[in-house]
Amino acid sequence: MRHVIGFNSDWLFHTKWTDVLKDSLKEAEIVNLPHNVKEVDLHYFDEDSSWFVSGYQRVLNWDKSFENKRILIHFEAAMSAAEIFVNGKSFGEHKGGYTPFTHDITDALKKDSDNLISVKLDSTERKDIPPFGANIDYLCYGGIYREVQIIVASDISIEKSMLTGLSDAKVCGKIIIRNSEKKKDVKENINIKIYDGSNVIHEHKEDIVLSGQCFEEKDISFNVKENIKLWDIDNPNLYKVEVSLSNKDSISHNIGFRTAVFNGEGFFLNGNKINLCGLNRHQSYPFVGYAMPSRVQKRDADILKNDMALNLVRTSHYPQSRHFLDRCDEIGLLVIEEIPGWEHIGNKNWQDVSVNDVKDMVERDYHHPSIIMWGTRINESADNHDFYTRTNTMAKSLDNTRATGGTRCNLNSELIEDVYVMNDFNHDGKLDPMRSQRAITGLDKLVPYMITEYNGHMFPTKMNDCEERQMEHTLRHYRIIDAVAKSDEVAGATGWCAFDYHTHYNFGSGDRFCYHGVADIFRNLKFAGTAYASQIDNKTKVYLEPISIFARGERNVGGVIPLVISTNCDYVDIYHGGKLLKREYPQSNRFMGLRYPPIVFEVFDDRLIGAQDWNVWDDIKLVGFIDGKVAIERQFVKNPLFSNLEVIADDDCLNAVKNGSAWDATRITIKAVDQCGNRLPYINLAVSIDIDGPAEIIGDTVFSLEGGLYSFWVKTINSIEEASNIKIRVKTKKFEEKIVNIRISK
């Protein structure tokens, strides 16, 4: 039996590392994981301020369950280099802030005593570690920003289960065994059970004869006899795999049965062609950088799949949280995952770390059915035959079930991987939405091909930018997803990007932000997000969002024409002052690739909602029809008033911090709305918040709305009480205090 102990609460955090910390416990601030070494301001922070060498310390009390066991410490990620000491003994430095590492600390532990675990964490942008070495358009922050566990295991234990399912009901991959005492010629049984819910539907046994290595591998391949349901994006059927040894050591994880293939004709999941339509995700958040717990990571997957109707996400530019990937498995969101890097390729040692990143990424994530391709290049780097042969070979040697790719931006690049992956920023509003495949590859034949970025820096747009800019932002996204969908040459595309993100001073808008998202950093959708969101099946959700705030003088010259409507309705009627002005249909001729093209009102016969007539600016009603029936109505008033402040929490219950668990958090969004509930983008109201109960606010407690919106996260903290509820008070001068209650579960 193994016992996994959460090791996330009550770390001592020293902002400055000194060697004394290796073996003596010193007083410092108490922190819980996930943790960022420095809170970063929302705008105009000094990015250098989080680049330092810090120390974390935590006492591990000897427990009688440790007797005759191996004690492992597992870090899910620490940015960017971490040296672990146990009672002063070093376990070496792990380089790289995105991949996990484990140390067997048994021999350094003192029995019946307290044991000191110290972490020397170097969060500087070290030139010997990818992605560092040159400029990077994103921030990596610093900290032990994912979880840590203590694993109490037998001397022979399962290090990793790399198993995946294919659509012919085959389970394949390998099991890696940790042979702590390097036993030789000992036979061990591996037992693999596949569960459908709580029923075991298949059992498979293998023997392995240990050869005296610290890590031993057993290849696995068998077919499940029972009928299985395939995993796909609409029905993400998952099965539990439980792997155990005769000494009862056991681990479990989910798998899904599916086959993912890229070929010259596109992308096929279980033989069915899917037009890949997605966005890139950075894993950064306001104030805490990367340090967000499971619930918040999972929520991003839900936002991408359910709110934005995407079928794919690219985890630009690094392996992301296991919680995020687990959720992608659960909801059927496909993933392209890639190694850390941005344009720069370092020297031989740097490249060795990068090749090792491929190994760690594939080993950690092999089992996820959602992952359809490994990115084995440094994003947008130059060709490098030897290096990319190494990264590609590493991925292929570990996984022959998935394609490899890797993003470049140069033409005529050498194709080493399975898929030629390109960032195509051709569209500048006028030029074609995408280039032809042959123009990019320079090859005389079509190859498996995919676009991983478009838009982004070509048209940065903020939540509260003027309406015309936001309309163009939206249309650029529409034009490109349409062109990609129509093309037989490309399997699909992921646009740049889902969420605004923090960056270095020499990128973005100077305030350390790239406003490239179709949503802001709080994950609130901008108008451009509606181009994606409106593609949701209209039987699942009826969608109608005009790209307008219906003000007479917001646009140049005035008026709201052309009026673009993101909708999945069959047609839309527009009423002005109660009078039907016009019925309009989707622009199917122009956007033939889209399931739900936008509806565009170009002109109105009586020009009533153009700029011309001062006196007739009136209320607007939009009515969307599906199958001849009214499906949705939206109202917009001629004279919006600041009528309410909506305060919405994503969750009504959070988990208490207990038994070493990580903290939990949820997002609360404040929205200024008019008499119809429409957001008022030019409200910059000052708001203050406070909180009662075992929780705290992440970031500022006094702020002003941005674009009529603001979100903040509330996190659980240590509490001596078993559980108690939290009350968040939102105060403004204009409205009575708003209160949000959140339960804390025991």
Among 47-55, 249-257, 346-354, 451-459, which window interacts with ligand GAL (CB under 6 A)? Answer: 451-459
Catalytic option among 453, 472, 545, 584: 453
Task: Give catalytic status of residue 83 as yes or no.
Answer: no
Judge whether 150 and 73 are in contact, CB under 8 Å.
yes
Q: Which is nearer to ligand GAL, 101 or 515 (CB)?
A: 515
What torsion, rounded to 10 degrees, do the Cα atoms 285, 289, 294, 295 define?
-20
Q: Which is nearer to ligand GAL, 83 or 453 (CB)?
A: 453
Q: Which is nearer to ligand GAL, 104 or 137 (CB)?
A: 137
Of 457, 486, 729, 731, the one binding ligand GAL by CB under 6 A: 457
Q: Which is nearer to ligand GAL, 378 or 726 (CB)?
A: 378
- In the complex, minimum distance from the CB of residue 453 to ligand GAL, in angstroms, rounded to a whole number: 5
Distance CA 549, CA 609 (A): 13
Among 21-29, 452-460, 598-606, 709-717, which window interacts with ligand GAL (CB under 6 A)? Answer: 452-460
Read off the amino acid at residue 664: D
424 part of the interface to ligand GAL, by CB under 6 A: no
283 part of the interface to ligand GAL, by CB under 6 A: no
391 part of the interface to ligand GAL, by CB under 6 A: no
* Residue matched to tokens 């599906």: 626
Task: Give catalytic status of residue 380 as yes or no.
Answer: yes
Query: How many amino acids of this chain bind ligand GAL (CB under 6 A)?
Result: 9
Judge whether 373 and 262 are in contact, CB under 8 Å.
yes
Q: Which is nearer to ligand GAL, 135 or 741 (CB)?
A: 135
315 part of the interface to ligand GAL, by CB under 6 A: no
Which 137-156 residues touch ligand GAL, going by CB under 6 A? 137
453 part of the interface to ligand GAL, by CB under 6 A: yes
What is the DSSP code string of 107-156? GGPPTTSEEEEEEEEE-S--TTSTT-SS--SS----B--S-EEEEEE-SE
Judge whether 304 and 333 are in contact, CB under 8 Å.
yes
* Residue matched to tokens 């969307």: 624
Which 516-535 residues touch ligand GAL, going by CB under 6 A? 516
Residue 477: phi and psi, rounded to 5, are -65, -45
Catalytic option among 147, 188, 337, 380: 380
Of 423, 441, 678, 711, the one binding ligand GAL by CB under 6 A: 423
Give the x-and-dash track for 481-500 against ligand GAL (CB under 6 A): ---------------x----
Residues in the chain: 746
- In the complex, minimum distance from the CB of residue 499 to ligand GAL, in angstroms, rounded to a whole number: 13
Give pairs for 687-691: CB < 8 Å, separation 24+: 687/645, 687/730, 687/731, 687/732, 688/730, 688/731, 688/732, 689/728, 689/729, 689/730, 689/731, 690/728, 690/729, 690/731, 691/726, 691/727, 691/728, 691/729
Of 76, 216, 249, 380, the one binding ligand GAL by CB under 6 A: 380
Q: Kind and range of the H or E element at 409?
A: none
Q: Which is nearer to ligand GAL, 330 or 380 (CB)?
A: 380
Q: Which is nearer to ligand GAL, 101 or 138 (CB)?
A: 138
Give pairs for 600-608: CB < 8 Å, separation 24+: 600/562, 600/563, 600/564, 600/565, 601/561, 601/562, 601/563, 601/565, 601/574, 602/561, 602/562, 603/561, 604/561, 604/574, 604/576, 605/581, 606/581, 608/576, 608/577, 608/581
Parallel/antiparallel/unpaired status of strands 599-601 and 620-626: unpaired
456 part of the interface to ligand GAL, by CB under 6 A: yes
459 part of the interface to ligand GAL, by CB under 6 A: no
Read off the amino acid at residue 199: N
- In the complex, minimum distance from the CB of residue 466 to ligand GAL, in angstroms, rounded to a whole number: 21
Among 79-87, 171-179, 366-374, 449-457, which window interacts with ligand GAL (CB under 6 A)? Answer: 449-457
Q: Which residues are tagged catalytic? A: 380, 453
- Residues engaged in binding ligand GAL (CB under 6 A): 137, 379-380, 423, 453, 456-457, 496, 516
